[in-house]
Amino acid sequence: MEHTKREKQEAHVAEVRQELNALVKKHESLELDSKTRESELASALESAKSAKAEAQKALQEFQAMKKIAEGKAFFMQSKHVKVNYLLLTRIRSSPGAFADLPCSVSDAAAFYRAEEGSSTEKVFWSQYAKAGHPVPLRDQLKQLVELHKAAEQAMKGLIGRLWPGEAMPGSYFGLVRRLVDAYPWLEVINRSVCIEGARRALARAKVHWGKLDAEKLVKDGPPEGKEHRRPEMYYEGVLKGARLVVNECSKDLIFE
Protein backbone atom coordinates (compact mmCIF):
# COMPACT_ATOMS: atom_id res chain seq x y z
CA MET A 1 0.00 0.00 0.00
CA GLU A 2 2.77 2.38 0.98
CA HIS A 3 4.73 1.38 -2.14
CA THR A 4 1.78 2.22 -4.38
CA LYS A 5 1.36 5.58 -2.71
CA ARG A 6 5.04 6.41 -3.27
CA GLU A 7 4.77 5.52 -6.95
CA LYS A 8 1.79 7.83 -7.33
CA GLN A 9 3.72 10.68 -5.68
CA GLU A 10 6.73 10.11 -7.91
CA ALA A 11 4.50 10.05 -10.98
CA HIS A 12 2.88 13.31 -9.88
CA VAL A 13 6.28 14.91 -9.29
CA ALA A 14 7.43 13.81 -12.75
CA GLU A 15 4.27 15.23 -14.28
CA VAL A 16 4.75 18.54 -12.49
CA ARG A 17 8.40 18.61 -13.59
CA GLN A 18 7.35 18.09 -17.22
CA GLU A 19 4.83 20.90 -16.96
CA LEU A 20 7.49 23.19 -15.47
CA ASN A 21 9.93 22.28 -18.26
CA ALA A 22 7.23 22.97 -20.82
CA LEU A 23 6.51 26.36 -19.23
CA VAL A 24 10.23 27.23 -19.20
CA LYS A 25 10.58 26.32 -22.87
CA LYS A 26 7.47 28.30 -23.74
CA HIS A 27 8.84 31.31 -21.86
CA GLU A 28 12.18 31.02 -23.64
CA SER A 29 10.40 30.72 -26.98
CA LEU A 30 8.28 33.79 -26.26
CA GLU A 31 11.36 35.71 -25.16
CA LEU A 32 13.23 34.72 -28.35
CA ASP A 33 10.22 35.64 -30.48
CA SER A 34 10.03 39.01 -28.74
CA LYS A 35 13.71 39.68 -29.44
CA THR A 36 13.24 38.64 -33.08
CA ARG A 37 10.31 41.01 -33.44
CA GLU A 38 12.30 43.80 -31.83
CA SER A 39 15.14 43.16 -34.28
CA GLU A 40 12.74 43.11 -37.23
CA LEU A 41 11.12 46.31 -36.01
CA ALA A 42 14.50 48.00 -35.65
CA SER A 43 15.46 46.83 -39.14
CA ALA A 44 12.17 48.12 -40.54
CA LEU A 45 12.70 51.49 -38.86
CA GLU A 46 16.22 51.69 -40.28
CA SER A 47 14.91 50.85 -43.76
CA ALA A 48 12.24 53.51 -43.41
CA LYS A 49 14.85 56.10 -42.41
CA SER A 50 17.04 55.10 -45.35
CA ALA A 51 14.09 55.29 -47.76
CA LYS A 52 13.16 58.72 -46.40
CA ALA A 53 16.73 59.95 -46.86
CA GLU A 54 16.80 58.61 -50.43
CA ALA A 55 13.47 60.28 -51.17
CA GLN A 56 14.72 63.61 -49.81
CA LYS A 57 17.91 63.29 -51.86
CA ALA A 58 15.91 62.50 -55.01
CA LEU A 59 13.65 65.49 -54.34
CA GLN A 60 16.65 67.78 -53.90
CA GLU A 61 18.18 66.49 -57.14
CA PHE A 62 14.90 67.03 -58.97
CA GLN A 63 14.60 70.57 -57.61
CA ALA A 64 18.20 71.27 -58.66
CA MET A 65 17.49 69.91 -62.16
CA LYS A 66 14.39 72.07 -62.37
CA LYS A 67 16.41 75.17 -61.46
CA ILE A 68 19.00 74.35 -64.10
CA ALA A 69 16.31 73.75 -66.71
CA GLU A 70 14.66 77.08 -65.89
CA GLY A 71 17.99 78.90 -66.13
CA LYS A 72 17.88 79.89 -62.46
CA ALA A 73 20.93 80.17 -60.25
CA PHE A 74 21.98 76.93 -58.61
CA PHE A 75 24.64 76.02 -56.07
CA MET A 76 27.46 73.94 -57.53
CA GLN A 77 28.90 72.34 -54.41
CA SER A 78 32.14 70.43 -54.83
CA LYS A 79 32.28 66.99 -53.26
CA HIS A 80 35.96 67.61 -52.55
CA VAL A 81 37.26 69.70 -49.68
CA LYS A 82 40.71 70.39 -51.12
CA VAL A 83 41.67 73.96 -51.94
CA ASN A 84 41.92 73.07 -55.64
CA TYR A 85 38.17 72.46 -55.78
CA LEU A 86 36.97 75.49 -53.84
CA LEU A 87 36.33 77.37 -57.09
CA LEU A 88 33.47 74.96 -57.78
CA THR A 89 31.64 76.04 -54.65
CA ARG A 90 29.74 79.00 -55.98
CA ILE A 91 26.44 80.07 -57.44
CA ARG A 92 26.12 79.33 -61.13
CA SER A 93 23.42 79.45 -63.79
CA SER A 94 22.99 77.92 -67.24
CA PRO A 95 20.11 79.56 -69.08
CA GLY A 96 21.51 78.79 -72.53
CA ALA A 97 20.95 75.08 -73.08
CA PHE A 98 17.30 74.86 -72.03
CA ALA A 99 16.36 78.37 -73.17
CA ASP A 100 17.35 77.49 -76.73
CA LEU A 101 15.70 74.08 -76.58
CA PRO A 102 12.25 75.05 -77.97
CA CYS A 103 13.88 76.73 -80.99
CA SER A 104 16.13 73.73 -81.62
CA VAL A 105 13.20 71.35 -81.27
CA SER A 106 11.18 73.38 -83.76
CA ASP A 107 14.09 73.49 -86.23
CA ALA A 108 14.73 69.76 -85.87
CA ALA A 109 11.06 68.90 -86.37
CA ALA A 110 10.89 71.09 -89.49
CA PHE A 111 14.13 69.62 -90.89
CA TYR A 112 13.11 65.98 -90.52
CA ARG A 113 9.54 66.70 -91.63
CA ALA A 114 10.93 67.93 -94.96
CA GLU A 115 12.93 64.73 -95.44
CA GLU A 116 11.44 61.98 -97.54
CA GLY A 117 10.67 58.60 -96.06
CA SER A 118 10.56 57.65 -92.43
CA SER A 119 13.27 57.56 -89.80
CA THR A 120 13.61 57.26 -86.05
CA GLU A 121 14.67 60.92 -85.84
CA LYS A 122 11.65 62.02 -87.86
CA VAL A 123 9.25 60.15 -85.59
CA PHE A 124 10.98 61.40 -82.44
CA TRP A 125 10.94 65.11 -83.30
CA SER A 126 7.46 65.04 -84.82
CA GLN A 127 5.90 64.37 -81.42
CA TYR A 128 7.18 67.75 -80.20
CA ALA A 129 6.43 69.73 -83.36
CA LYS A 130 3.26 71.32 -82.02
CA ALA A 131 3.53 71.00 -78.26
CA GLY A 132 0.84 73.30 -76.90
CA HIS A 133 1.79 72.67 -73.30
CA PRO A 134 5.00 72.80 -71.23
CA VAL A 135 7.26 69.86 -72.01
CA PRO A 136 8.09 67.74 -68.93
CA LEU A 137 11.67 67.86 -67.73
CA ARG A 138 12.24 64.20 -68.59
CA ASP A 139 11.27 64.92 -72.21
CA GLN A 140 13.53 67.97 -72.29
CA LEU A 141 16.41 65.74 -71.22
CA LYS A 142 15.52 63.31 -74.03
CA GLN A 143 15.57 66.20 -76.50
CA LEU A 144 18.99 67.31 -75.26
CA VAL A 145 20.30 63.77 -75.66
CA GLU A 146 19.10 63.67 -79.28
CA LEU A 147 20.63 67.08 -79.99
CA HIS A 148 23.83 65.84 -78.37
CA LYS A 149 23.85 62.85 -80.75
CA ALA A 150 23.27 65.08 -83.79
CA ALA A 151 26.09 67.42 -82.72
CA GLU A 152 28.40 64.47 -82.15
CA GLN A 153 27.74 63.09 -85.65
CA ALA A 154 28.32 66.52 -87.20
CA MET A 155 31.60 66.97 -85.33
CA LYS A 156 32.82 63.52 -86.32
CA GLY A 157 32.02 64.22 -89.96
CA LEU A 158 33.90 67.52 -89.93
CA ILE A 159 36.87 66.11 -88.03
CA GLY A 160 37.05 63.19 -90.46
CA ARG A 161 37.33 65.64 -93.36
CA LEU A 162 39.84 67.93 -91.67
CA TRP A 163 42.05 65.18 -90.26
CA PRO A 164 41.68 62.22 -92.64
CA GLY A 165 43.45 59.09 -91.51
CA GLU A 166 43.81 60.21 -87.89
CA ALA A 167 42.12 58.43 -85.01
CA MET A 168 38.77 59.89 -84.01
CA PRO A 169 38.63 61.22 -80.41
CA GLY A 170 36.99 58.71 -78.11
CA SER A 171 34.87 61.14 -76.09
CA TYR A 172 32.52 64.05 -76.67
CA PHE A 173 34.91 66.39 -74.88
CA GLY A 174 37.71 65.10 -77.11
CA LEU A 175 35.63 66.01 -80.18
CA VAL A 176 35.07 69.51 -78.81
CA ARG A 177 38.76 70.01 -78.10
CA ARG A 178 39.67 68.81 -81.59
CA LEU A 179 37.26 71.35 -83.09
CA VAL A 180 38.92 74.09 -81.05
CA ASP A 181 42.03 73.33 -83.09
CA ALA A 182 40.07 73.44 -86.35
CA TYR A 183 40.59 77.14 -87.10
CA PRO A 184 44.42 77.12 -86.90
CA TRP A 185 44.39 73.84 -88.82
CA LEU A 186 42.26 75.44 -91.55
CA GLU A 187 44.91 78.14 -91.80
CA VAL A 188 47.51 75.42 -92.34
CA ILE A 189 45.33 73.76 -94.99
CA ASN A 190 44.69 77.04 -96.81
CA ARG A 191 48.39 77.79 -96.89
CA SER A 192 49.17 74.30 -98.10
CA VAL A 193 46.55 74.56 -100.85
CA CYS A 194 48.14 77.78 -102.10
CA ILE A 195 51.58 76.18 -102.13
CA GLU A 196 50.31 73.08 -103.91
CA GLY A 197 48.49 75.08 -106.58
CA ALA A 198 51.48 77.32 -107.20
CA ARG A 199 53.79 74.32 -107.30
CA ARG A 200 51.68 72.70 -109.99
CA ALA A 201 51.40 75.91 -112.01
CA LEU A 202 55.12 76.66 -111.86
CA ALA A 203 55.95 73.08 -112.75
CA ARG A 204 53.71 73.40 -115.82
CA ALA A 205 55.51 76.60 -116.81
CA LYS A 206 58.87 74.91 -116.38
CA VAL A 207 57.80 72.16 -118.78
CA HIS A 208 57.75 74.84 -121.51
CA TRP A 209 60.60 76.96 -120.21
CA GLY A 210 63.10 74.57 -118.67
CA LYS A 211 65.48 77.31 -117.54
CA LEU A 212 62.75 79.09 -115.62
CA ASP A 213 63.86 80.03 -112.09
CA ALA A 214 60.64 79.85 -110.10
CA GLU A 215 62.05 81.60 -107.04
CA LYS A 216 63.47 84.45 -109.14
CA LEU A 217 60.21 84.70 -111.04
CA VAL A 218 58.30 85.27 -107.80
CA LYS A 219 60.80 87.56 -106.08
CA ASP A 220 61.89 89.76 -108.99
CA GLY A 221 59.76 92.46 -110.49
CA PRO A 222 58.72 92.76 -114.15
CA PRO A 223 61.44 92.94 -116.86
CA GLU A 224 62.93 96.31 -117.68
CA GLY A 225 60.60 98.39 -119.77
CA LYS A 226 57.58 96.33 -118.68
CA GLU A 227 57.19 97.70 -115.16
CA HIS A 228 53.52 98.39 -115.85
CA ARG A 229 52.79 94.69 -115.85
CA ARG A 230 51.40 93.28 -112.61
CA PRO A 231 50.22 89.72 -111.80
CA GLU A 232 46.74 91.03 -111.01
CA MET A 233 46.34 91.99 -114.66
CA TYR A 234 46.43 88.33 -115.71
CA TYR A 235 44.30 86.68 -113.03
CA GLU A 236 41.23 86.46 -115.23
CA GLY A 237 43.16 85.05 -118.16
CA VAL A 238 44.78 82.23 -116.19
CA LEU A 239 41.69 81.29 -114.16
CA LYS A 240 40.59 78.50 -116.51
CA GLY A 241 44.03 76.96 -116.38
CA ALA A 242 44.08 77.29 -112.59
CA ARG A 243 40.83 75.36 -112.37
CA LEU A 244 42.37 72.57 -114.44
CA VAL A 245 45.37 72.45 -112.10
CA VAL A 246 42.97 71.80 -109.20
CA ASN A 247 42.19 68.39 -110.64
CA GLU A 248 45.88 67.48 -110.45
CA CYS A 249 46.31 68.45 -106.79
CA SER A 250 46.51 65.46 -104.48
CA LYS A 251 44.70 67.27 -101.63
CA ASP A 252 46.20 64.84 -99.11
CA LEU A 253 49.60 66.51 -98.74
CA ILE A 254 50.25 69.29 -96.28
CA PHE A 255 53.04 71.72 -97.19
CA GLU A 256 54.44 73.64 -94.24
Query: Which pLDDT belongs to residue 34?
Result: 74
User: Would residue 144 be called left, alpha or beta, if left means φ above 0 and alpha means ψ between -120 and 50 degrees?
Assistant: alpha
In tens, the pLDDT along 190-229 reads: 787 777 777 888 888 888 888 888 888 778 877 777 778 7
Percent of the chain beyond pLDDT 90?
6
Per-residue pLDDT averaged across 233-249, rounded?
76
In tens, the pLDDT along 30-73 reads: 777 777 777 777 787 888 888 887 877 777 777 766 665 665 65
pTM over cut 0.85: no
Helices marked H in the chain: 2-69, 95-99, 101-114, 120-126, 137-162, 172-180, 182-208, 214-219, 235-246
Question: What are residue 15's phi and psi, to 5 degrees?
Answer: -65, -45
Per-residue pLDDT averaged across 3-20, rounded?
68
Query: Which pLDDT belongs to residue 2?
Result: 59
